Amino acid sequence: MKTLTRTLIGLAALFAAVSVQAAAEDPIDRLEAATEILEKTNTMPEQEIPPALLKNAQGIAIIPGVIKAGFFVGGSYGKGILNVRDSYGRWSQPIFLKLAAGSIGWQIGAQSTDVVLVFKTRRSVENLINGTFTLGADAAVAAGPLGRRGEAATDVDLKAEIYSYSRSRGLFAGVSLEGAKLDVDKAANTEFYGRSVRPREIMEGTVQAPATATRYMQAVNKATGN
């Protein structure tokens, strides 16, 4: 009986994960969710991503509603958006991406959290744009410091190229994402820009984003002090 109950709980969790991720398939929905996350970044000084870290970032990825689900073999999956700074300090239009991480072991249940990745170096951004990218292998990643006091912890003595955060119930926290894989979401980029488009074209500003990206880009600029 206990085994059956666990099985049903596990299946329900997986169905819930699938339902939530189905909503994330639409690029516009992703933009709206990411905008909300960015607009919340500076509302709680002790639970915020340090402003100096965002101001000096070379790239920022926002992945709303990352689902961690498990039934014997579990994993995490989410779809989000990447923005990259150009040589003038301006942010690129949105580049859509995917995150996936696997795990093995007895686990039942599902949970959803928002993930923010702050890229400190140009090298880490370039590696992601050039192909599938593994956090911790292709670039050092660490749970990010919090609050204005945490700004002192973002200096060169900490060798991480990427700082990772999760947001649950409105609060940010540093999170470890070693082994998670990031990849460009080519299908979403094609849908959003109306044609097949390479990430580098978006980075270089040779394609124009639809007007639906305006509020999101405003939120990116405000959160990063641009």
Least trusted range by pLDDT, from 22-26, 33-37, 159-163, 206-210: 22-26
Quote the domain boundaries for residue 29: 2-223
Q: For residue 73, how many other CB atoms are within 10 A of its CB?
A: 11
| 50: pLDDT strictly greater than 70 | yes
| 226: pLDDT strictly greater than 90 | no
State whether residue 66 is helix, strand or coil: strand
> The tokens of 194 are what?
């109306």
User: Would you say 161 and 119 are in contact if contact means Cβ atoms under 8 Å apart?
Assistant: yes
State whether residue 189 is helix, strand or coil: helix
| pTM score, whole prediction | 0.80
Q: Which residue has the tokens 């980029």?
A: 189
| 155: pLDDT strictly greater than 90 | no
What mean pLDDT is predicted for residues 179-202?
A: 93
Least trusted range by pLDDT, from 46-60, 120-134, 169-183: 169-183
Least trusted range by pLDDT, from 31-40, 104-113, 160-169, 195-204: 104-113
Q: How many domains does the chain have?
A: 1
| Residue 149 confidence (pLDDT) | 57
| Residue 107 confidence (pLDDT) | 43
The secondary structure element, H or E, covering residue 182 is: strand 181-184
